[in-house]
Chains A and B, each alone.
Chain A
Amino acid sequence: MLDRAFVCAQCTARLTRRPIWSKALPFSARRLSSNAAVNRPARVAIVGSGPAGFYAAARLLSKNDDAVVDMYEKLPVPFGLARYGVAPDHPEVKNCEEKFTEVASSPRFNFVGNVDLGNELPLSTLKPHYDAILFSYGASKDKELGIPGEQSTRSVHSARAFVGWYNGLPEHRDLEPDLTSGEDAVVIGQGNVALDVARILLSDVDALRSTDIADYALEKLSKSTIKRVRVVGRRGPLQASFTIKEVRELLQLPSVSFDPIAKDVFPPESVINGLPRAQKRLMQLIAKGSANDPQTSTKSWSLDFLLSPESLHWSPIHPYHLTHAKFSRNELDPSGPFSPSSKVTPKHLSNGKPAMVNLPASVFFRSVGYKSLPLPGLEDLGIHFDSQRGVIANDGFGRIKSLSGAGEPQKLPDGSILTHLPGLYCAGWVKRGPTGVIASTMTDAFTTADTMLQDLASHGTSGSLMHAPQDSSGLGWDGVKPEAERLGLRPTSWQDWQRIDAAERERGQQKGKVRDKFGRVDEMLQVL
């Protein structure tokens, strides 16, 4: 059952022995394989099985001939945001899972799912058994607005939770989004997550039926009374962070019209023509708008700029019914209103009072960015979590930097001094913040993996940025497993995932969907 994840050290060694034909490795490949001073394969733990973790694993396994990677995941199933963040109507983006599956088919890859590191299993359990630990656990929370009424669970939702809900994430299985109290939805934030929320709310439910969207979400969306979605931003069009593909999709939704943007906030053509390519095309697209006639369209959406949410208001008669959201108006810096870096300031009326506006809202979503949290126990490893930026302090290449005083300062070839924590790395959103598409995460993960490979190549030599091999047992999961067993954990292996995967696909097939995800961890484990 758990055969792959529980391979003993000797078997691992046998499995990972280099095949005969690869003896005549060219010099370059030999240099990158684990150092001869360490007479065993390097053992690497990756914390988190999303795109960052998998792309790093892909690079490590392909460039190092014998390194063994153990990937830890909180859920019994892999792929992180590829599975639970990418919108169900973007199946082509999920194609990256095929590459990840190929990575996982390597005999030098172990999946250890259903283990919540830091909570169920202390991080300090891992440390003695690995040459390197890579943190790629992403961003598990989202930023808050800090306005009155935001904490209400009725009609007020985090976009992250809503996305998790329609994608079948167990954590948000019981979210009850209020889609039937009225016709107006307000989404705060102008990134791609905000547009995903808008698109799911505005899409014809029948267009989603064959996707892997959660059944309960489909059911709820089919009863939705939402007719109008406002996507509201604090700043102007040039500061919005969504990308053109997502805007184009919304503009092309059948029977959905788009409100033209007020001229005074939109950059004039002369400014647009001088913008960099990507921004220029985006502005031109928004200016062109949708071909759908508002008269014949059943739903509509708008981009509303220069509004900061202040408070939420419920009906005095029906205290459960959200009626509107109150916003204060902003204005762009008059000296350069259409400069991409233009600052916004609160707008005041002629009497000196702040300019305010109410927008009708029966449901309210906040979508102002994701946020990484420190994994419990990071401090035990000496890791500094930068709460301000929401990232693990690192050198940009993925090496985790220590707090001043801890660790040996290293002089790098370029002359800079780095106090780093040997053998500890990070990649993905927990390294650089929660922005960017899969391509950016991939490049970022490759950068960290290349850094690790460099350090592994010098493993055991003086001046190595990897800690000394004798500091690690090199046993990896085989060393950690006894403690996991003692704690009564039930880890899932890659084979376990394959069974869950097969069961989900079968359930889906019966319903004419590509997959019907299990919405609860118990249901996943019952298949095994």
Chain B
Amino acid sequence: MALWREFGLQLRRALPRTSAGEMCLAQSRRYVSHSATPWGTGEVANTYRRGLGLYKGVQTPSQGWKSAQRSFSVSAQAAHGHLTPPKPGEEINVTFIDKDGSEVKLQVAEGDNLLDIAQANDLEMEGACGGSCACSTCHVIIDEPDMFDKMEEPSDDENDMLDLAFGLTETSRLGCQVLMNKDLDGLVVRLPTMTRNLQASDFEQK
């Protein structure tokens, strides 16, 4: 176990996730926005992202070990960051609309939750409580009310946390509580812009 952990850490050092992620993201985004056939781009972006997902997967053994240690906690990030690749023919399509309006199309497997999907693909979504429905940092907005209605009703606990979310809407959910299934194929979720009306970029030197 310790070996796995060490390996994960070393890999992380060798490959500083942030700048790598940023670079890849920017490139794939550009690709998405300039392409005429969205379906094709989705696939390209997806393959590229899967590569990053692999790197994420390396961390899983150590995280699994950690959560085993914390047996007292009901829902401490059990499979956080771990994604099962979808079986051929069983891919479910989901589109994330980032804070800056860019679209990221992904193909995911049944049972994955939106927080894990976003984090495995380096989208800007925080999961401060590790996906245990104890904060509101993975707040997402479901783009179409019809899709929202197809989902199971949010639990009291989830609603309690959503009450604290910034920019709450009628179709808000916590990403960690939305599990993908076939009915949700074609789901479009929006990442809310955070708090203030002004963004720091408003101060950009012109």
Q: With an 8 A cutoff between CB atoms, is A438 at the interface?
A: yes
Q: Are A438 and B128 in contact (CB under 8 A)?
A: yes
Q: With an 8 A cutoff between CB atoms, is B136 at the interface?
A: yes
0/1 interface trace, chain B 4-45, chain A, CB 8 Å (1 if under): 000001001100101110110011001000000000000000
Q: Are A93 and B164 in contact (CB under 8 A)?
A: no
B164 contact set on A, CB distance < 8 A: 243, 278, 437, 439
A281 touching B128 in the complex, CB below 8 Å, given contacts A29-B23, A439-B137: no
Q: With an 8 A cutoff between CB atoms, is B123 at the interface?
A: no
Closest CB of chain B to A454's CB: distance in Å?
A: 6
0/1 interface trace, chain A 485-505, chain B, CB 8 Å (1 if under): 000000000000000000001
In the complex, 20 of the A-B residue pairs with CB atoms within 8 angstroms, ordered by the A residue number, are: A22-B20, A22-B23, A26-B30, A62-B22, A63-B18, A91-B72, A91-B76, A93-B134, A95-B129, A95-B130, A95-B132, A98-B66, A413-B206, A438-B128, A438-B129, A439-B137, A443-B195, A444-B195, A454-B205, A464-B205
Please count how many residues in chain B sit with their CB below 8 Å of the partner chain's CB atoms: 52
The chain B residue with its CB closest to the CB of A24 is: B23
C-alpha spacing A447/B128, complex, angstroms: 17
Q: With an 8 A cutoff between CB atoms, is A65 at the interface?
A: yes
Q: Are A245 and B72 in contact (CB under 8 A)?
A: no
Given contacts A107-B13, A437-B136, 16 further A-B contacts (CB under 8 A): A22-B19, A62-B18, A92-B76, A96-B135, A98-B66, A245-B157, A278-B163, A281-B160, A282-B163, A414-B203, A442-B126, A443-B195, A447-B196, A454-B205, A463-B205, A514-B70
Tell me which of B26, B75, B134, B160 contacts A29 (CB under 8 A). Answer: B26
Q: With an 8 A cutoff between CB atoms, is B166 at the interface?
A: yes
Closest CB of chain B to A150's CB: distance in Å?
A: 32
Q: Are A413 and B203 in contact (CB under 8 A)?
A: yes
Q: Are A96 and B128 in contact (CB under 8 A)?
A: yes
A124 contact set on B, CB distance < 8 A: none
B206 contact set on A, CB distance < 8 A: 413
Please count how many residues in chain A sit with their CB below 8 Å of the partner chain's CB atoms: 60
Q: With an 8 A cutoff between CB atoms, is A312 at the interface?
A: no
Residues in A83-127 with C-beta less than 8 Å from chain B: 90-93, 95-96, 98-99, 102, 105-107
A25 contact set on B, CB distance < 8 A: 19, 23
Closest CB of chain B to A298's CB: distance in Å?
A: 23
Q: Are A277 and B163 in contact (CB under 8 A)?
A: yes
B76 contact set on A, CB distance < 8 A: 91-92, 95
Q: Are B12 and A105 in contact (CB under 8 A)?
A: yes
Q: With an 8 A cutoff between CB atoms, is A211 at the interface?
A: yes
Q: Are A92 and B132 in contact (CB under 8 A)?
A: yes
**Residue picked from A92, A102, A463, most chain B C-beta under 10 Å:** A92
Tell me which of A277, A443, A458, A514 contacts B205 (CB under 8 A). Answer: A458
Q: With an 8 A cutoff between CB atoms, is A239 at the interface?
A: no
C-alpha spacing A212/B75, complex, angstroms: 17
A106 contact set on B, CB distance < 8 A: 16
B126 contact set on A, CB distance < 8 A: 99, 442
Chain A interface residues (CB < 8 Å from chain B): 18-19, 21-22, 24-26, 28-29, 61-63, 65, 90-93, 95-96, 98-99, 102, 105-107, 210-211, 243-245, 248, 277-278, 281-282, 396-397, 412-414, 437-440, 442-444, 446-447, 450-451, 453-454, 458, 461, 463-465, 505, 514
A28 contact set on B, CB distance < 8 A: 26
Q: With an 8 A cutoff between CB atoms, is B204 at the interface?
A: yes
A19 contact set on B, CB distance < 8 A: 16
B199 contact set on A, CB distance < 8 A: 450
A92 touching B75 in the complex, CB below 8 Å, given contacts A26-B26, A442-B128, A450-B201: yes
C-alpha spacing A42/B133, complex, angstroms: 37
C-alpha spacing A171/B166, complex, angstroms: 35
Tell me which of A105, A278, A396, A454 contacts B13 (CB under 8 A). Answer: A105
C-alpha spacing A454/B19, complex, angstroms: 17
Closest CB of chain A to B161's CB: distance in Å?
A: 7
Q: Are B72 and A210 in contact (CB under 8 A)?
A: yes
Q: With an 8 A cutoff between CB atoms, is B95 at the interface?
A: no
Q: Are B163 and A65 in contact (CB under 8 A)?
A: no
The chain A residue with its CB closest to the CB of B66 is: A98
Q: Are B202 and A413 in contact (CB under 8 A)?
A: yes
The chain A residue with its CB closest to the CB of B134 is: A92
Nearest first, the 9 closest Cβ-Cβ pairs linking A and B are: A95-B130, A62-B18, A278-B163, A450-B200, A92-B132, A92-B134, A210-B72, A26-B26, A245-B160
Q: Are A281 and B163 in contact (CB under 8 A)?
A: yes
Residues in B130-176 with C-beta less than 8 Å from chain A: 130, 132-137, 156-157, 159-161, 163-166, 168
Q: Are B204 and A248 in contact (CB under 8 A)?
A: no
A99 touching B201 in the complex, CB below 8 Å, given contacts A90-B134, A93-B134: no
C-alpha spacing A463/B195, complex, angstroms: 27
A443 touching B166 in the complex, CB below 8 Å, given contacts A22-B19, A65-B19: yes
